[in-house]
Amino acid sequence: MEQVADDFESSATIIWAQPNYIYTLQGSPNDTYYLGYQWNMRMIQFDDIFPNITGNSDVIITVIDSGIDLDHPDLVEAIWTNANEIPNNSIDDDNNGYVDDIYGWNFINDTNDIDDDNNHGTHVAGIAVAKANNQLGIAGVCSGCTVMSLKAADQNGDLTSTSISNALSYAIDNGSSIINLSFGAHQAYVSQEMLIKNSIDIALANNCLVIAAAGNFAQNIDTNPFIPASYDGVIAVAAVNESGLFADNYSNYGNRIDISAPGGSGIGDSEQDIFSTFPNSTYDFLHGTSMAAPHIAGIIGLLVSVYPDISPTDVKDTLFNSANDLGDSGKDDFYGYGLLAVKNAITYLDSNVLIQDITVSTTLKVFGPNGENSSILNGPNPFNPIQEATFIQYELSKDATVELHIHSISGEKVWSRYFGLGDVSGSSTGFHSVEWSGKNNFGNYVASGPYLIYLVANSDGETVIKTTKILVLK
């Protein structure tokens, strides 16, 4: 194309020519149906974070549902695999009680086949993790994250106490900290339920975030609790329609609602519902609080991708304080704290949550007095005793007390530094660079070898610990 333009420019009759460049709209992924059907993504501010914020494959979102289309081109890259299990050898290699559980487990039929025979699980998973910007299908909220799809529902969409409870245990045991539950029943019908309650309490005790659909009965879940959304500690999600208003024709409500997200209008106009992945590599519309919940699971996946050390409490604070307050001012019975707003959430997290990266050079370079390399760091070398320091660098998003410790590989603490609140050189908001000369607390140069640097920052009872290695070279 460039060549053609050049040729035209050399012609006497054409004064001006250039290639017909292709420009893309900024702020929208290029997925086929994004602009036409995914109104829900624009409603939650996805365009405002795309493409800067994406999911990390280390972050596992568990979807306990009817399974997943393992071959779906918009999902296939995201599907979790069990690295400790050898496929198809009829042996439970990782000794977890499940034979050949490569992609998870089918807890309703007790097999390793998690293929989706209902549609619901594939649809829910796509909302959370469908690959964005691959010129195909749809964009999920947390494209790039991993999805662990555990089949606990049969082809009719029915789950059991044990299928749900066992799936929850599996998710916890396999390192997932975000669990989406797009199902439920009113407590009146499951009044003796204990298994699920116990499993969720264990998940919460393991720092999992558990997200549940509020239910589609247009009922008040304070007077008629909906299990599991009504359980303490679970993030209960209500639905809004295509107009961004509470979906009062189906969504449950009540003081127990934490937050709301798009679930579709549910009035028979499919384009006002939520478009997502379907089995057999297809796509389709569904509506319900089941669709609202995985939007929340997706944003949590993004928050954890951006700040892997974020606590569950900080995740909830971030989501609830950044939600778009609708309806009555403040938290209310229909929107909870408000409608999910992913850009606001990322912004809130950046400015309010204590985290920070500690970056250090991984090698403590040693220089002689005249700048020459490779002098001895750890004497005795009376002819060449001077060396350059290294800098431990970190950033605080709020004031915090900071401890820095350096340990030898054998565990001996060789150096420490403390910064109390008000000590601007190390504990105030912002960037800090702390010099380490390579000497221990007694003023002697340490031996060469690997050392571990620990940073412990504490603010209002919230603690962040970061570690990194440093190599001291002779």
Nearest to 321 by CA among 299, 305, 300, 344: 344
Q: Does residue 434 sit in helix, strand or coil?
A: strand
Return the DSSP state at 270: G
Q: Which of 48, 77, 94, 388 binds Ca ion (CB under 5 A)?
A: 94
The Cα angle at residue 355 between residues 144 and 305, in degrees rounded to 5 = 5
Q: Could you tell me which stretch among 25-33, 178-186, 257-265, 462-470 binds Ca ion (CB under 5 A)?
A: 25-33
Active-site annotation holds for 165? no
Q: Which of 37, 80, 98, 170 binds Ca ion (CB under 5 A)?
A: 98
Site for Ca ion in 311-340 (CB under 5 A): 325, 327, 332
The mark string for 38-77 relative to Ca ion (x by CB under 5 A, - otherwise) is ------------------------------------x---
Q: Which two tokens stand for residue 379?
A: 């004497």
| CB of 84 vs Ca ion, minimal distance in Å | 7
Catalytic residue selected from 72, 120, 123, 287: 120
Catalytic residue selected from 143, 290, 397, 427: 290
Q: Could you tell me which stretch among 85-93, 154-162, 181-189, 346-354 binds Ca ion (CB under 5 A)?
A: 85-93
The strand pair at 413-419 and 401-408 is best described as antiparallel
What is the residue-wise DSSP string for 388-431? --EEEEEEESS--EEEEEEEETTS-EEEEEEE-TT-TTTTSSEE
Site for Ca ion in 132-191 (CB under 5 A): 134, 136-137
**Counting contacts by CB under 5 A, is residue 258 touching Ca ion?**
no
Q: Could you tell me which stretch among 5-13, 86-94, 154-162, 178-186 binds Ca ion (CB under 5 A)?
A: 86-94
Nearest to 41 by CA among 121, 133, 141: 141
Nearer to Ca ion, 101 or 314 (CB): 101
**Counting contacts by CB under 5 A, is residue 255 touching Ca ion?**
no
Q: How many helices (H) and strands (E) does the chain have?
A: 10, 18
| CB of 143 vs Ca ion, minimal distance in Å | 7
Number of residues that bind Ca ion (CB under 5 A): 20
| CB of 174 vs Ca ion, minimal distance in Å | 10
**Counting contacts by CB under 5 A, is residue 388 touching Ca ion?**
no
Q: Which two tokens stand for residue 175?
A: 């390192």
Under 8 Å CB-to-CB from 121, ≥6 apart: which residues? 63, 65, 66, 67, 68, 149, 151, 153
**Counting contacts by CB under 5 A, is residue 458 touching Ca ion?**
no
For residues 216 and 66, what is the distance between their CA atoms, to the nearest angstrom? 18
Residues that bind Ca ion (CB under 5 A): 31, 74, 85-86, 89, 91-94, 96, 98, 100-101, 131, 134, 136-137, 325, 327, 332
